[in-house]
Amino acid sequence: MKVTERDVAYVADLANLELSDDERTRMVRDLNSILGHVDSLSELDTTNVPPMAQVSDRYGVDESKQGTERFAYASREDVHEGLRKSFPPEVALANAPDSDGTFFRVPKVIER
């Protein structure tokens, strides 16, 4: 077993998830099953292989251009109103579970 109940509790904390006892037990089982399968990656020697985070930095771009030059088409001048006007507050707040009309309202942040 690679992942223990303690690991699950720690990771749930990082991920802002409150897991019930049952969920925690099941998560230990599932994560170990998946990570057991994932372990096959260690068979591969990747020492000189660069990591790939994106497709769009390699394909569909002008490869003769380097660095930011390559993506010049995707940039624009820094202007006050960009591609689209910002939403007015009442629109931005329309989906909020709680607001005072100007700001989102949340439970108190500092616990005593």
Partner 1 sequence: MNLAGLTIDAVRSAVTERTSSAAALAEAFYAKIESDDPKIGAYLILSKERALAKAAEIDRLAEKGEELPPLAGVPVGIKDVLVTKGVRTTAGSKILGNYIPRYDCTAVARLEAAGAVVLGKLNCDEFAMGSSNENSAFRPVHNPRDLSRVPGGSSGGSAAAVAADMAVATLGSDTGGSIRQPASFCGVVGLKPTYGRVSRYGLIAFASSLDHIGPLAKTAKDAALMLRTIAGRDPMDSTSAELPVPDYVSELDKPVKGLKIGVAKEYFGEGLEPETRSAVEAGVQKLANLGCEVVNVSLPHTKYAIPAYYLVATAEASSNLARFDGVRYGFRVKGARSLSDMYRRTRDEGFGAEVKRRIMLGTYALSAGYYDAYYLKAQRVRTMLTRDFEEAFKKVDVIVGPTCPTPAFKLGEKVDDPLAMYLADIYTVTANLAGIPGISIPMGVSKGKLPIGMQIFGKHFDESTILRVAHAYEKAV
Q: At what angle do helices 21-38 and 5-14 cross, to 10 degrees?
A: 100
Q: Does 30 bind partner 1 (CB under 8 A)?
A: yes
- Judge residue 7's burial from the number of C-beta atoms within 10 Å of its C-beta, 0-12 exposed, 13-18 middle, 19 or more buried: middle
Q: Does 109 bind partner 1 (CB under 8 A)?
A: yes
Q: Does 67 bind partner 1 (CB under 8 A)?
A: no
Minimum Å gap between C-beta 42 and partner 1 is 8
Q: Does 101 bind partner 1 (CB under 8 A)?
A: no
Judged by CB under 8 A, the residue of 6, 21, 44, 67 near partner 1 is 44
DSSP string, 10-77: HHHHHTT----HHHHHHHHHHHHHHHHHHGGGGGS--TTPPP---STTTSSS-TTS-GGGGGGGG---
Q: Does 17 bind partner 1 (CB under 8 A)?
A: yes
Cβ–Cβ < 8 Å for 98, 105: yes
Contact residues for partner 1, defined by CB under 8 A: 3, 7-8, 11-12, 14-20, 23, 26-27, 30-31, 33-35, 37-42, 44, 46, 49-56, 59-61, 71, 73-74, 76, 83-84, 87, 91-92, 94-98, 104, 106-109, 111
